Chain A
Amino acid sequence: MKNKPSKIEIMFVGLPESGKSTYIAAFWNSAKSQNGDCLEISKLPGNTEYLESLAEAWRKCEHVTRNVGESLENLVLGIKEYEDFGPFDLAFPDLSGETYKNVFKYRVIESDLAKRIQSANALVLFIRSNHIRKPESISELTHFLGLNEESSPIDTQAFTHDDATTQVIVTDLLQLILEGGSHINKIAIIISAWDKEISKGYSPREFTEEHLPLVFQFLWSNFEAHQYEFFGISAQGGDYDDEAEVLLDKENPSERIIAQVGDEKNADISMPIKWIMKDA
């Protein structure tokens, strides 16, 4: 067996409501249940209160709400052997989206977060497929709506950080995190809420290239091809408002999950983590 690390540390990065906590909830449930293709827990961690609180809501098809707080939750799960990987610890600090939003806005990385970044091998970046702000120009809209120069402005705003497009925020965040001492050499981009996109026939890579071209270019320019990958994940499996009944009907809740990389589709929520483990 090839010499594999005994611990993998992953940074989970994403803005508020990008799907991190829902992913963790679904991963915990699947890994603990030990059915399906997901990686499996080798032993329960000491304190599972936080994980169970997330998973409980997920199982009931209720929106997962992360406890907002400033302390870092450093989740470490013991994972069973998988393929040529011996048993290992999987660590991922669960930081709120507000933490990363503040990094972008205030340009400061607290030393605790900096230490997490410096010890991480990999980064998983969450971007919600239906929460993407795009650079839409006025000329595109006025042409479409037939407006003219004599029309009065609705209410001209001054620029704030929140007005930046999603791809600018995400790319800038990646730059801030990756510069200065990071050892991260693998980046998984998770396009969450993938249930809304899967029927359109895109692969997650094609989706990123089309809707987040700056992110795509940043990865292409700064990393080798094997160092980054794009995943489409729906940890919910569908819209709770419209499809809860169908989703709850599945005996095994893990079957709700949608996971895609390239053209490969299944219900394995641990797909991005398995990719990170490959060649580790």
Chain B
Amino acid sequence: MTQSSTTQMGICNNPNCKYFQDGNCLLGKDLPDCEFFSSPSQYNAISQIIGDLQKLKDLGTRKEIPLETPSSGFEISASEAIEINGHSQPNVIVLAGRQDVGKTTLIATLATLFQKSSSFAEYRFCRSKTLLGFEQRCFLSRIDSGNVKEDTERTPYSTDGYKYLHLGVVEIQNRSSKIDLVIADIPGEEFKRIANSSEKAKNFHLSKRTDHFAFLANADLLSNEKERQNEKSFLKTLFQRFTDTGILDQRIKIQIVFTKWDLLLSKAHEDKHFKFVSSVEDEIRLAAKGFEDKVDFIKLASRSSTEAGLEAGWGFDKLLSLWVKKPLRTTSGLPKHPVFVPAYAREFCKYEFRQQ
């Protein structure tokens, strides 16, 4: 296939930059990460804010440039997440927990549920910039992978920043209600570091833009006599770290998610395990004093289990119905439609993704 220009157009708002002549960004950055770069949607938004289309046209040059489409289809970056601009800002979700607690499996299961049926939990699939990312995370649980036991690839640690997955849904009873979910897929090692360090917890800037913070605990371990105290301890410590730094403020909705609930149910002495999980819930409520009404407790089974009598995706309807709720954030200090604003223009707003 011969190389040729694509439909992507961009504008560089730095009058000194010659990217469109020689392909070199003055700041040495890759588009669209450069702060002077505007995509067509941003260009229009800027035009509206500044109200002087002619002034913008005189700045920089405009040309079709050989860009790939913004998303690889696997994950999106923070700047690409900002591009998602439906009826309102996307709901940003953080899944917090250590390795193997089931963060990635949760993400994969959620996407699969929309492939299994023409609706799920009163919602229908609308769009996604990361369909391939969901597929990749599902793959090891599928027959085509060659596995005989369902598995999920571990999220690799990356120095390039967090990766996000995007899922847009529509409420069946209210078609004008379109909600975009941006889910951060963060490796468990990161949360292990955060649990061990208040400094790291404080510097978790993503929380400033988070709408839903889901703390995951492994119900399989919580129902294992040898492992349950460590699992509880980690959950409580992580929760406390974020609480202490003031990050879990009134704006953020919190879920405590017990994953692998099917494995708990398939064990003997069910009542004993229920009691222990209940004690974990009580301790979390205590730690959330002052905002305990913002905390929901969810039990999930991503995979089907004949022994437990649960179908794949059990509990996900409740989780989704929480995540699609509009964020509590007020508009003070936060833009309704976040945009990049060129340096020469007055900065009407800062979008806190950029503070990562």
Contacts and interface: CB of A to CB of B under 8 A. Distances in A.
B219 to A, nearest CB: 18
Interface in B10-65: 64
B126 A218 contact: yes
B71 A138 contact: no
Interface stretch (A51-59, A195-203, A209-217, A271-279): A209-217
Interface in A147-161: 147, 149, 151-157, 159, 161
Interface stretch (A36-44, A73-81, A173-181): A173-181
Given A140-B304, A163-B139, A164-B135, A109 B6 contact: yes
Contact of B69 (A153, A176, A216): A176
Interface stretch (A87-95, A110-118, A239-247): A110-118
Contacts of A153: 146-149
Interface in B104-137: 112, 114-119, 124-128, 131-132, 134-136
A154 to B, nearest CB: 5
B312 interface: yes
A141 B117 contact: no
A142 interface: yes
B347 interface: no
A171 interface: yes
Nearest to A142: B148
Interface string A106-145: 1111111010011000000000000001011111111100
B304 A139 contact: yes
B251 interface: no
B150 interface: yes
B73 A172 contact: yes
Contacts of A136: 142-144
A222 interface: yes
B1 interface: yes
A30 interface: no
Contacts of B144: 133, 136, 157, 163
Contacts of A110: 1-2, 4, 6
Interface residues of A, number: 55
A147 B74 CA distance: 32
B212 interface: no
B118 A217 contact: yes
Contact of B175 (A108, A111, A117, A221): A221
A168 B312 contact: no
Nearest to B40: A180
A6 interface: no
B197 interface: no
Contacts of B136: 159
A55 to B, nearest CB: 29
A11 B6 CA distance: 18
Given A70-B1, A139-B304, A220-B124, A157 B135 contact: no
B218 interface: no
Given A135-B138, A217-B126, A107 B68 contact: yes
Contacts of A135: 112, 115-116, 138, 142
Contact of A139 (B6, B118, B128, B150): B150
A266 interface: no
Contact of A111 (B5, B112, B116): B5
A214 B115 contact: yes
A230 B140 CA distance: 33
Given A109-B6, A136-B143, A139-B304, A217 B124 contact: yes
Given A163-B139, A218-B126, A222-B126, A111 B115 contact: no
Given A137-B312, A154-B148, 20 more contacts: A70-B2, A106-B68, A111-B6, A112-B4, A138-B145, A139-B150, A142-B148, A149-B149, A153-B146, A159-B145, A163-B139, A163-B142, A168-B115, A214-B114, A214-B115, A216-B118, A218-B126, A218-B127, A221-B126, A222-B127
Interface of B: 1-2, 4-8, 64, 68-69, 71-73, 112, 114-119, 124-128, 131-132, 134-136, 138-150, 168-170, 175, 178, 303-304, 306, 312
27 contacts: A106-B1, A109-B6, A109-B7, A111-B4, A114-B6, A137-B112, A138-B150, A139-B141, A139-B304, A139-B312, A141-B143, A142-B148, A147-B148, A151-B148, A154-B148, A156-B145, A156-B147, A159-B136, A163-B139, A164-B132, A167-B115, A181-B7, A214-B115, A217-B114, A217-B124, A218-B127, A222-B126
